[in-house]
Structure 1
Amino acid sequence: MLRAFLRTEAGSTALLLAATVLALVWANSPWGATYDAFWHTPTGISFGDATFSLDLRHWVNDGLMTVFFFLIGLEVSYEVRLGQLRDRRLIAVPALAAFGGMLVPAGVYLLLNAGGPGAGGWGVPIATDTAFVLGVLAVVGARCPDPLRAFLLTLAIVDDVLAIMIIAIFYTSSIAVPALIAAALLLAAIVTLRWLKIWRAPAYIVLGFALWVATLESGIHPTLVGIALGILVFVYAPTDHKLLLAGEAVQEFTSEPSAQAAREAARRVQRAVSVNERLQLRLHPWSSYVIVPVFALANAGVPLDGESLRAALTSPVSIGVALGLLLGKFAGISLGTWLPLRFGWGILPGNLVWGQLLGGAAVSGIGFTVALFIVDLAFDDSAIHTQAKIGILAGSLLSALMGWIIFRLAWDRGGVCAPPEAEPDEELPDRLAVPVGPTDHVRGPKGAKVTIVEYGDFECPYCGRLQPVLEELRRKNSDIRVVFRHFPIRTLHPRAASAAIVSEAAADRGRFWEMHDILFDNQRFLTDADLEHYAAELDVDPWSDVSGHAARISLHEESGRDSGVRGTPTLFLNGVRYQGPLDLRSISQAVEDLRGSP
């Protein structure tokens, strides 16, 4: 039970919350003086006469948090090369939402603090705490859709990158040039090892630690080393050759089990997966369940006595941070979401509605980890330091409350993020809700005796395997026609929606089925560059009318949901949902049965 609990976002969020509460209790207990005394305990490393020493809080903030940012770098690298950040239309909306969610909170803060002693804290309310946001979504209702989580995760990645850039540019006080040169040389050495394909973990660990020390001495915050090294780690999709070798090794172990065969199988399977993904798998639990909670314990212990609270109630710093998180984040993310959708610059990763998006915008005002991090960089005055932290706590709590209220209102209005107990077991319809019409994509004779309607997804491997079956059916039977309707599963296949849009652009030129075949023949190569290449081959402008084509795809999806479609591929034979195996013999038999029916 405990292990299952810790695997969830709610589990890591609960640990973070527990560490925060413990820090607050400790700092406000009769032993509160020991809180700062403990975290200011100096600890260091000595090499003969040379010493390197930091207090415990700086070891946490400058050392352990480097691993946290290293993990962000790994995630950014993966998403850019293999994930959702490859598709510019899928990232356009959350990226602009993240940008708005930083500009507006900073503006709200500066309206109250420009020219004052707290003006430098404008960066405090700009960052979203991903762990808390996902934890709140898990608590608010398990029926909140996966596309909302995907949207907020993409937003959080962009948010983290922008926050790190702001830390590097605006919160670096002075530069030590010799140390900076040393850091640049060490980074070049790491890049050289990567270029030479020398994969020796000890070499990277030694050079990475030296780079961290040099960066710390240079005056630039050393957590930037984390994200830089994370981005440099190799990420790649498993090649067919490596998958084949791994499969052969596993098969050999299955047929003749031995320690040597088990070792070889484990080695081959491991090599099939990129170092980036393996490091994410190993480091994510340490970051979520150890590093971030320890960071909260070291930084969230703010005095909440009467004097501190009275000062915070009238402090422009506290009010600016709280309002920046509560109202600035909500307004900035909402506006940053609306603009690209209004002008057709991007699409959402699913059939999200505004009730869900506004709830996500509200909970994105929970700023904690990076906000506390920037407080430590922005303020030297302990009183302002305390006021900023109180603002963070107040703004984050109010943002969580506002998000919960928005989600509850959405539930009451009939189904947005409805809790499980509010919905009975679904009985799916088995009839085609929208008959085949002149706007459908049809392959085959108009008067065909059997019409097969497929709801499909260009990135779905099962849809890809079905295409030769349907073509063989059409080849052997002149009285069959095939209709294709779009049903992209965006949460599983981030490039499916883009491929669907390009196929609709081809349809405008009367070349839908040519593009259909190209896309299914190249399912593993559906990046923007790939799609543009396929479109050029057919003399098609792929992005000529993104909003119009997206609307057409949405009509297909709506008709699919009304027909009981929940996955791909789903077939309807003469308007009735087919529920048998998707092989040639089974579908052929179903077609023969239809021919024989009156």
Structure 2
Amino acid sequence: MKLLRSARFPAILLLIAAATGLIVANSAIGPAVIEFSHVHLGVPGTEIDLSLSHWVSDGLLVLFFFLVSIELQFELTRGELRSARRAAVPAFAAAGGVLVPIAVYLSVTAGSGFEAGWPIPTATDIAFALGVLAIFGRGLPSGIRIFLLALAIIDDVVGIVFIAVLFATDLDFGMLSAGLVATAMFGALSRLLHTRGRAWIIAGLVVTGLAAWGFILLSGVHATIAGVLLGLAMAQTPALVVRHAMEPWVNGVVLPLFAFTAALVVIPSAGDGLSPVFWGVLLALPIGKLIGISGAGWIGQRLFAGDPTHEKLALGDLVAVGALGGIGFTVSLLLANLAFATEPLVRDEAILGVLAGSMISAVAAVVLILARVRHHRRAGTAIEEDA
């Protein structure tokens, strides 16, 4: 369990799962596996009926967003985002890391009819980016990790807003209202965990949490938003305990399973060519994120140069963080599935763009991080870490 709570191993596991999915999809058993992922399973007595792949993306992935939301709640109240002044520079960098990739994607896809995929390259995978930093950035100043974490959390908030606003379909306000009521009950129950009858309260949390998920799923809002709302509604102390308990399962099962199912994509033959969607995502993640994050972060640091709450990062460190920001994976894969849900071939090319762009970003980040490690060691600013 300790291994699955580390920053390093989950990132490696995520990469292996995505690579395995891509290999399986393009092997002899690929068609059978892809067909199996489309098998539907419903919940008796309800209107819930999802394919196996959607049970992963609309069901299990809710747990990932639940943990992200708990972390967001902590950072907003006691962490790096607890004041506007502390959040200002990471927010500037995050804004650049969203706007520049959108501009790159739209410039590549202009006139193609596929402009709707612009949200795809805006996301950063927190687990993967922090994992790469942990593996190759030993000795770097702690400010780099803190800055990356704050930036990635803000980036995730943007992704959550995109999912909630852009990909809601045929809204059923009755179901949405029921989901919000169930969420409020979940939050209220979580504040009673210190009282007697704890077992019944835990049972109530499970029931109201599942109810909130089901209602929000049927409302037309993407089901992962249920995880966000539940994480924000839960009382912080028990929420952190739950996060600690669930983290190994999310890192070791949920995220690899999602990466595997999302990467079940057949690579087009050389003669088929690739659409602007692939090239737009491929360029927007490594180039747009690097330029946007490092450039906006540099500007933000100068705008708030006199603020003692900010540890100033060198431009080289900001560039390394920008490269890490181009590792999209989890949220970008979800956005690709949502943006082109009705166009499977285009969706597959977007997914390939996410995988390829994320890998280019990861390789660039490793090179830049190792260069920064050497720089800080020569300058005597590297920190000693336990093995």
Q: Distance in 1 between matches of 2:184 and 2:85?
A: 34
Taking the TM superposition and a 5 Å limit, the aligned residue runs for 1:367-386 are 367-379=328-340, 380-386=342-348
Q: Structure 1's 112 and 202: CA in aligned 2 closer, same or farther, altered over 3 A?
A: same
Check whether the contact 2:255–2:330 (CA below 8 A) recurs between aligned residues. Answer: yes
C-alpha distance in structure 1 between counterparts of 2:309 and 2:324, whole Å: 18
Match of 2:286 in 1: 326
Q: TM-score, normalised by structure 2?
A: 0.90
- 2:213 touches 2:226 (CA, 8 Å); kept in 1? yes
Residue in 1 that maps onto 2:62: 66
3-state secondary structure, aligned to 1:43? strand
Give unmatched runs, 5+ long, in structure 2: none
Match of 2:369 in 1: 407
Closer, same or farther in 2 for the Cα pair 1:136/1:72, shift >3 Å?
same
Structure-2 separation of matches of 1:52 and 1:333:
40
SS at match of 1:415: helix
1:15 alignment counterpart: 13
Aligned pairs for 1:522-533 (under 5 A) are: none
Corresponding residue SS for 2:291: helix
Counterpart contact for 1:74–1:280, Cα < 8 Å: yes
Residue 30 of structure 1 aligns to a residue whose secondary structure is coil
Q: Letter of the aligned partner of 1:11 in structure 2?
A: F
Whether the aligned pair in 1 keeps the contact of 2:174 and 2:219 (CA below 8 Å) is yes
Structure 1 residues 196 and 285: CA distance shift in structure 2, 3 A = closer
- Give the alignment partner of residue 32 of structure 1, picking from 6, 10, 30: 30
Please name the residue that 1:130 is paired with: 126
CA positional deviation for 1:232: 1.3
What is the 5 A alignment of 1:204-243? 204-235=205-236
Cα displacement (A) at 1:120: 1.1
* Matching residue of 1:187: 183
- Counterpart CA distance in 2 for 1:7 and 1:173 is 36
Q: Give the letter aligned to residue 203 of structure 2.
A: P
Does the CA contact (< 8 Å) of 1:311 and 1:387 recur in 2? no
Task: Structure 1: give runs of 5+ residues left out of the alignment.
Answer: 236-273, 427-560, 567-598
Specify whether residues 42 and 347 from structure 1 end up closer, same or farther in structure 2 by C-alpha distance, changes over 3 A only: farther
Please tell me the residue identity of whatever aligns with 1:22. T
Bigger strand share: 1
Tell me the secondary structure at the aligned position of residue 54 of structure 1.
strand
2:90–2:150 Cα contact (<8 Å) kept: yes
> Which amino acid counterpart does residue 360 of structure 2 have in structure 1?
L
Aligned-partner Cα distance in 2 for 1:51–1:127: 31
Q: Indicate the SS of the match to 2:140.
A: coil
Residue identity in the other structure for 2:277: V
Higher normalized contact order (CA 8 Å, seq sep 6+, divided by chain length): 2
Structure 2 CA distance for aligned equivalents of residues 79 and 233 of structure 1: 14
1:276 partnered with 2:239:
yes
- Does the CA-based 8 Å contact 2:281-2:350 persist in structure 1? yes
Larger radius of gyration: 1
**Which segment is superposed worse, 134-143 or 94-103?**
134-143
1:317/1:388 contact within 8 Å kept: yes
> Which structure has the highest helix share of the two?
2
The DSSP-based 3-state class of the residue aligned with 1:352 is coil
| 8 Å CA contact 1:341, 1:347 repeated in 2 | no
Is 1:358 matched up with 2:354? no
1:399, CA displacement in angstroms?
Answer: 1.2
Q: Distance in 1 between matches of 2:60 and 2:329?
A: 16
2:50 alignment partner AA:
L
Post-superposition offset of 1:161: 0.9
1:108 to partner: Cα distance:
1.2
Query: Aligned pair in 2 of structure 1 residues 168, 79: CA closer, same or farther (>3 Å)?
Result: same
The answer to whether the aligner puts 1:338 opposite 2:301 as a matched pair is: no
Take 2:108 and 2:332, find their aligned partners in 1: how far apart are those partners? 18
Deviation at residue 63 of structure 1 after TM alignment: 0.6
Shift of 1:202: 1.2
Instruction: Select which of 94, 116, 131 maps to 1:120.
Output: 116
* 2:135 aligned with 1:109: no
Query: Are the aligned partners of 2:89 and 2:304 in contact in 1 as well (CA < 8 Å)?
Result: no
Percent identity, please.
Answer: 36
2:262 aligns with: 299
* Equivalent-residue separation in structure 1 for 2:173 and 2:368 (angstroms): 51
Match of 1:387 among 336, 341, 349: 349
Structure 1 residues 347 and 128: CA distance shift in structure 2, 3 A: farther
Deviation at 1:194, TM superposition (A): 5.6
Q: Deviations over 1:164-184 (max 9, x none)?
A: 011111111321233223223
Given that residues 94 and 293 in structure 2 are in contact (C-alpha distance below 8 angstroms), is that contact kept between their aligned partners in structure 1?
yes
Q: Following TM superposition, by how much is the alpha carbon of 1:54 offset from its aligned partner in structure 2, in angstroms? A: 1.2
C-alpha distance 177-87 of structure 1, shift in aligned 2 (>3 A): closer
Distance in 2 of aligned mates of 1:348 and 1:415:
24
Shift of residue 191, structure 1, vs aligned partner: 4.6
Q: Which deviations, in whole Å up to 9, do the C-alpha atoms of 1:415-439 show, x marking residues without a partner?
A: 23x4xxx89xx9xxxxxxxxxxxxx
